[in-house]
Chains A and B, each alone.
Chain A
Amino acid sequence: MTDKCQGNGGKDIYLPEMATIKKVEPLTEMEMLFDIALDSGEELGHMPGQFAEISLPGIGEAPISISSSPTTKGMFQMGIRKVGNLTNHLHNLKPGDKVGIRGPFGTSFPVDTAMKGKDILFIAGGIGLVPLRSAIHYVLANRDDYGHVYILFGTKTPADRLYLEELEEWGSRNDITFMETVDKGDSDWKGSQGVITTLMQPATSVDPKSTVQVGMDVSGNMPGLDLVPKNTVALICGPPIMYKFVLIELKKLGVPFENVYISLERLMKCGVGKCGHCQINGLYACQDGAVMKYSDVIDVKEAI
């Protein structure tokens, strides 16, 4: 770059920085968890809900949400599903291999603002748990800053469950109400069956704060959700189809949409608000999202 043609002397927003894979750990047959550290030695500097662009030279680049909390230092984590050229190649990486990283990009869950002092309801469908996990860890690392914590998790089958040790830990903690369900169980599955909204029925008599919910009985007998709706902030992430139904249930439960945050998947190709691919009507998922307050986008036709 010569002086005469220098853009603004600023950095190239498309140029990745090098990072090293520190650890790989299979989550399911399809998903792998990567511990990644920037070669600069710096922290990524993200907040829960943000994403980064990960790339392999020659293969390409893709937006992936960050699964670890910024309270975890020295590295960050990405839970990556094998779905295409790049992710197939990423799954073949070993500790010590290099990747390119750009980011973090996008909005984050309001862990330090709107969520403070509130009861927190996490609702994750499938790999929607990956971005939510960052916020869950953050909340648990600062447990005293929040009220009751509910984590609802649904997958298609027991084989799709991720972060098994953490699920177990969440289930065993008495300062969290953890509930999960699978759309379709197998012979070993003792828990609830049904879509995620199965977990969102209002409680009748059971006080969830006093009950540890590791698994429901197969008849789907639920303790239900005993929320203080106005004091609850809900964070939702899952497949596109899930939002509509979860939002209906949240409305029934009386959680105000001003307290509901959704994380939306789109094709964030450039990550910096230029390429146009991730637009949701007038919003850019890479800049105005991926985390959005639902009351802000309730009239945005393409959002849900």
Chain B
Amino acid sequence: MSVKKLDKKALNSWVESLVAGQKVFGVQAKGERFAFAELTDASALRLDYDVTMLPPKKYFLPQREDLLTFKRSGGHESVIECDPFVLLGVHPYDFVAIRQMDAIFEKDNDDIHYKARRNAATIVVCDVQNASENVFAGCMNGAVVEDGYDVLITGIGKDYLLDAGTEKGEALLHGVGAPDARAEDMAERSKVWEANKAALKKHELKCAPADLPKLLGSSEEHPVWAEKAEGCFSCGSCNLVCPTCYCFDVQDEIDWNMDSGRRYRCWDGCMLTNFATVTGNHNFRPKVEDRYRHRYYRKGKYIPEKIGEISCVGCGRCITACVAKIANPVEIYNRLLEGK
């Protein structure tokens, strides 16, 4: 696969050509912060962003997604929506999270709704140019990705390297009239990667991520869970902004005709009060403390047991989003390392 070197102007032309030819979602400014949104104007793309408010999971597991339509007078029909699209500017930590979601939604029972969206996507990863205030991807193997992407953009000085990692990526770069990267350019890229691994550590985890399952295995009764939970609003913000949270609720909606309707799934969160409440009102996880602990165990123990990777990529969104400022995973894990 080839690596092309583009200057700023050539990069803009390339983005313009993408926007003109297909549906593109890219990072743009939203107020003082950033969000992925449909890109119609190439100049609105902000590859210099620090972090988006919501992760790009919203394109694979939409906030609300119809699973099927039905008629009460008979029958259900799957809804699979999946126009091809390009996702432009995904940071490495978010890409690591997407690959984890791929594993989750494929494991045991393949989820064709997720898979259809995933197959429809061409993902352009972009190395981080500006670290966000709470990022710690450097501690979580999330600062850089070296494979799996369709295209990887890395800013080196005034230029950009565009690396096609798949055939889809090659197709996206097809016709880009730019020179191939030279060995010294590739060396520059390695420097960016090394720099990012060091820089994306606004919080420093005092153990290897691989040590977390064992650490959590002996920390169920640690006082930190109750202490932190005291400040928790059960608002689920940490769930919603998390690139690896994927829990969902399923509901039915009927149309005015009282016949047709749809069954949809929508984002849910294990921190919300009634997440584990069954019909008849018994809540199997009624205490905030237990919900709070559960979330960290999912990230650091339960999901790793399922897919073999720590399910926190160090984006730091939860730290920023938590109004009570109790959701810093690094702080929690370091505290557990200290013992009591």
Residues on A lying within 8 angstroms of B by beta carbon are 1, 4-8, 10-16, 18, 55-62, 81, 83-84, 86-87, 98, 100, 240, 265-267, 269-270, 272-277, 279-282, 287, 301-302
The closest CB in chain A to the CB of B290 belongs to A302
B59 at the A interface (CB under 8 A): no
Q: Given the complex of chains A and B, what is the CA–CA distance between A10 and B276 in angstroms? A: 30
Q: Are A277 and B275 in contact (CB under 8 A)?
A: yes
Q: How far is the CA of A267 from the CA of B116 in the complex (A)?
A: 27
Interchain CB contact under 8 A, B76 and A15: yes
**With A and B bound together, what is the CA distance between A83 and B116 in angstroms?**
36
B252–A58 touching, CB < 8 Å: yes
Q: Assess whether B165 is interfacial by the CB under 8 Å rule.
A: no
**Do the beta carbons of A7 and B119 come within 8 Å of each other?**
yes
Chain-A contact segment, one of B105-113, B122-130, B230-238: B105-113
In the bound assembly, the distance between CA atoms of A72 and B50 in angstroms comes to: 62
In the complex with contacts A14-B113, A282-B301, A302-B285, A5-B80 CB distance below 8 A: yes
Task: Using CB atoms, name the residue of chain A closest to B275.
Answer: A277
Q: Which of B30-38, B64-72, B89-97, B188-196 contacts A (4 or more CB under 8 A)?
A: B64-72
Residues of B within 8 A of A5 (CB): 80, 82-84, 116, 119-120
Report if A8-B302 is in contact (Cβ < 8 Å); known contacts: A14-B68, A272-B108, A277-B275.
Answer: no
Write the nearest CB–CB distance from A65 to chain B, whole angstroms.
13
Chain B residues, Cβ within 8 Å of A61:
250, 252, 263
Rank and list the top 4 A-B pairs by shortest CB-CB distance, nearest first: A7-B112, A276-B247, A5-B82, A57-B70
Q: How far is the CA of A14 from the CA of B109 in the complex (A)?
A: 10
18 A–B contact pairs at CB < 8 A? Answer: A1-B80, A4-B120, A7-B110, A7-B112, A11-B112, A14-B250, A14-B263, A18-B76, A58-B253, A61-B250, A61-B252, A83-B279, A275-B247, A275-B248, A276-B298, A277-B268, A279-B294, A282-B302
Closest to A283 in B: B302
User: With A and B bound together, what is the CA distance between A208 and B252 in angstroms?
Assistant: 51
**Residues of B with C-beta under 8 A to A273:** 107-109
Chain B residues closer than 8 Å to A11, beta-carbon distance: 112
Q: Does A267 lie within 8 Å of B277, measured CB to CB?
A: yes
**Chain A residues whose C-beta falls within 8 Å of the C-beta of B279 in the assembled complex:** 62, 83-84, 86-87
Choose among B72, B105, B120 the residue that contacts A274 (Cβ–Cβ < 8 A).
Answer: B105
User: What is the minimal beta-carbon distance from B99 to any residue of chain A, in angstroms?
Assistant: 17
Q: How far is the CA of A260 from the CA of B82 in the complex (A)?
A: 47
Residues in A with CB closer than 8 Å to B265 are 14, 275
State in angstroms the CA–CA spacing of A275 and B246 once bound together. 7
* Interface 0/1 of B43-71, CB less than 8 Å to A: 00000000000000000000000011011
Interface residue B74 (Cβ < 8 Å from any Cβ of A):
yes
Known: A8-B115, A58-B254. 15 other contacts (CB 8 A): A6-B119, A12-B80, A58-B252, A60-B250, A61-B250, A87-B279, A273-B107, A273-B108, A274-B111, A274-B246, A276-B248, A280-B284, A282-B297, A287-B108, A302-B290
Interface assignment of B278: CB less than 8 Å from any CB of chain A: yes
Asked if A276 meets B113 with Cβ closer than 8 Å, knowing A5-B120, A14-B68, A62-B279, the reply is no
Does B162 interact with chain A (Cβ within 8 Å)?
no
A16-B76, A273-B107 known; A58 vs B70 contact (CB < 8 Å): yes
Is there contact, CB below 8 Å, between A57 and B302? no
With the chains together, A240 CA to B285 CA distance in Å?
12
Q: How far is the CA of A58 from the CA of B262 in the complex (A)?
A: 7
Contacting residues, chain B, for A276 (C-beta < 8 A): 246-248, 268, 270, 275, 298
Verify if B78 is at the interface (C-beta below 8 Å from A). yes
Q: Do B109 and A13 touch (CB < 8 A)?
A: yes
Q: Which residues of the other chain, A, contact B268 by a CB distance below 8 angstroms?
A: 275-277
For the complex formed, measure the closest distance between the CB of A132 and the CB atoms of chain B, giving whole angstroms.
Answer: 19
Q: Does B209 contact A (CB under 8 A)?
A: no
A265 and chain B: residue at smallest CB distance: B278
Residues of chain A within 8 A of B109, CB atoms compared? 13, 272-274
Which single member of B110, B120, B253, B258 contacts A8 (CB below 8 Å)?
B110
List chain A residues, Cβ under 8 A from B275.
Answer: 276-277
Instruction: Closest A residue to B72 by CB, please name it.
Output: A57
Nearest CB in chain A to that of B75: its residue: A18
- A100→B71 CA distance, assembly (Å): 12
Asked whether A58 lies within 8 Å of B72 as measured between CB atoms, the reply is: yes
| A280 to B270 alpha-carbon distance, docked (Å) | 12
Tell me if B282 counts as interface (CB < 8 A to partner A): yes
A12 in contact with B277 given A98-B74, A276-B246 (CB within 8 Å): no
Q: Are B116 and A7 in contact (CB under 8 A)?
A: yes
B104 sits at the interface (CB 8 A):
yes
B291 to chain A, nearest CB (A): 11
Asked if B252 contacts A12 (CB within 8 A), the reply is: no
B7: CB under 8 A from chain A?
no
